[in-house]
Structure 1
Amino acid sequence: MSGTLADEIRDRLGDLSPAERKVARVLLAGYPAAVFETVATIAERAAVSTPTVLRCASRLGYRGFPDLQAALRAELDARNASPITLYESAAAAQTPVPGATTGGDRSPDPQLALVQQALSQTFHEMSPHEFESAAELLADPRRRIHLVGGRFTHLLAQYLGLHLMQIRDQVSFLPDRDVERTSFLTQLARRDVTVVFDYRRYEDDMTLIAELARERGGKVIAFTDPWLSPASAHADVVLISQVNSASPYDSLTPTLALVEALISAVLDRLGPDAHQRMKDAEGVARRTGLL
């Protein structure tokens, strides 16, 4: 999946008639709930006829309005999927093949192909503008950088943060303990950049952190999946990675590759300053016995 139904509607606005565009704007304004309204209600809100609503759905590539609604249901199911539901749906879809091998004899080729596809699609669909904006923000020495992630993605936040610490100053992780985290969030300021990693199933505190950072005038970079974390609504930069996997767990390999590409881009922008920072850090590490 390369985007949401809302993205698809926005992309097709130019293909719609003026009346159909009114319908599309009603759907986008109240997305996703508006899509589940009756055709008559949508027609009334858009000030168009009922047939116009039906034509809009057809022009968007659906057999009818129920088909469009079914597509949104599938999107929302995917957005809220957990490892358990993914495991159960995959198991239900499997059809045993007579004579097929199992266990250790199974070829890894399909799994490798999925990872390769996810990697390729992630970088193919990456917005150069979003990537460049993220690199510029992380390379700005006037800004403090704060990083936070979720259940699994805190590992990615640490991976990015530990690299940034070697090449620039003022990089930190949001504390885990309540009192320390509250104090930390209270001190967020206008020149700060908060980097949030949030993938399905999304975590409410990631959205609240992004919201607080924006309220205080800072910048927010959100790493997320194609279904978009709610934190994305508060982000200045959104970096999307595919998560296709042969297992019930979403793959974070494409995100790791994106993080490494971003580290390289930041390093290029910092230039000699990053080199000197690395030399200074290594000198301190050797002197204190850490290397």
Structure 2
Amino acid sequence: MDTRKRTADRSAAEEDAHGSPPRTVEGLRNLAVSIGRDEGGVTLGAKAHAVLAKLVERPEEVAVRKITDLAESLGVNASTLTRLATKLGYGGFVDFQRVFRDSLAQQHRHFYSQQAGRLVERAQGLRAPGAAPEIDTVVQLARESIDNVEAFLAQLSAADLRAAAKLLASARRVRIHGLRQFGALASFLSYGLGMIRTDVGLLDAQGLGVAEGLAQLQRGDVVVVTSVSPYTRGVAEAAIAAAEAGLTVIAITDTRASPLVAPARHAFFIPHDSSFFSNSMGAYMVFCEGLLNLVATHLGKSSLQALERRERFIADLRIEWD
């Protein structure tokens, strides 16, 4: 058992001992089990207990969603969540939600090291006589990416895809925004769109800042944002600012609990579950390739003309090796 797990268990035990409401998600999970066994010192009705059980199994969603949105997703009234929080001993729903937010922040601080730790443990387990860990590692990552692709395909909305492709084809200007690892995805999407239409670019291509990039856009222009857990604050804030300015936001993210969803007109959810030491990008690349093809199809002859014009410049400038 690692140090963080021991700390969480000890914290949960201390919470029970002092009779105060749990301050960790693990403590809340233990409390939910105890209540179900009539051992928790707190009495909840069957409906309230079922809601608590659902909440502790979706901590990221509880951490970031508004109480009204969360209640709607659970099929209850917002007042039900407030009463539940009070019944458990919290000062209100905000106090209850803080437990999940603190847990999420702690998890994000260790995201990359935890991923790498699992990778090392798995590699050590493969060191059996005759094993080929190099091949096994690549095969496992490939299969995980296939699973992620199948997962996003299962929940794709044809209406959202059609509408997003139309927006990306017809908007006067399109800007893409992603930072850190997803800066690479933003660059790929910007490059691909730029092959088939004009006035496409990264939101902060010149390094002058997001505010400058947004100020150059007008109502009806499109901003595509992309980030996944652990989310990049700057991307989420840019999405909110863009929507408030009347720009159309399209989000490429991981879950419905993502902070990019609320300001977006269309959001696409791509899982990234993987043994890779960071966020897996494979399924995201497949999705973006599909989206680019849809935009090209929507543009029709104009996309062909754009590609032919590009090819002429490539030939004239002798860019490609013969």
Task: Answer whether TM exceeds 0.5 for this pair.
Answer: yes
* Count of paired positions: 255
Q: 1:182 to 1:233 in 2, by over 3 A?
A: same
- Output the CA distance in 2 between the equivalents of 1:177 and 1:170: 15
Letter matched to residue 203 of structure 2: L
Q: 1:168 to 1:208 in 2, by over 3 A?
A: same
- Residue 83 (structure 1) aligned with residue 112 (structure 2): yes
Q: How does 1:146-161 map to 2 (within 5 A)?
A: 146-161=175-190
User: Counterpart in 2 of 1:16?
Assistant: none
- Residue 237 (structure 1) aligned with residue 266 (structure 2): yes
SS at match of 1:230: coil
- Output the CA distance in 2 between the equivalents of 1:36 and 1:113: 41
Q: How does 1:138-149 map to 2 (within 5 A)?
A: 138-140=168-170, 142-149=171-178
Letter matched to residue 273 of structure 2: N
Give structure 1 stretches of 5+ with no counterpart.
Answer: 14-20, 28-33, 46-65
User: Counterpart in 1 of 2:86?
Assistant: 38
CA contact (8 A) 1:86 1:248 kept: yes
Q: How does 1:255-270 map to 2 (within 5 A)?
A: 255-270=284-299
CA contact (8 A) 1:134 1:221 kept: yes
- Output the CA distance in 2 between the equivalents of 1:284 and 1:224: 35
Q: 1:8 to 1:124 in 2, by over 3 A?
A: farther
User: Counterpart in 1 of 2:218?
Assistant: 189
Cα distance, 1:232 vs structure 2: 2.2
SS at match of 1:213: helix
Give structure 2 stretches of 5+ with no counterpart.
Answer: 1-56
Q: How does 1:61-80 map to 2 (within 5 A)?
A: none
TM-score normalised by length of structure 1: 0.71
User: Counterpart in 2 of 1:279?
Assistant: 308
User: Counterpart in 2 of 1:121?
Assistant: 151
- Output the CA distance in 2 between the equivalents of 1:278 and 1:105: 40
CA contact (8 A) 1:4 1:75 kept: no
Report 1 or 2 for greater relative contact order, CA contacts < 8 Å, sequence distance ≥ 6: 1
Letter matched to residue 250 of structure 2: I
Q: RMSD in angstroms over aligned alpha carbons?
A: 3.9
TM-score normalised by length of structure 2: 0.65
CA contact (8 A) 1:79 1:227 kept: no
Cα deviation 1:55-109 (Å, max 9, x = unaligned): xxxxxxxxxxx9xx99999878767762113334666799959957667366344
- Output the CA distance in 2 between the equivalents of 1:212 and 1:105: 45
- Output the CA distance in 1 between the equivalents of 2:110 and 2:183: 20
Q: 1:164 to 1:239 in 2, by over 3 A?
A: same
User: Counterpart in 1 of 2:9?
Assistant: none
Cα deviation 1:18-73 (Å, max 9, x = unaligned): xxx33x6654xxxxxx698233679x99xxxxxxxxxxxxxxxxxxxx9xx99999
CA contact (8 A) 1:188 1:216 kept: no
Cα distance, 1:284 vs structure 2: 2.8
Q: 1:235 to 1:73 in 2, by over 3 A?
A: same
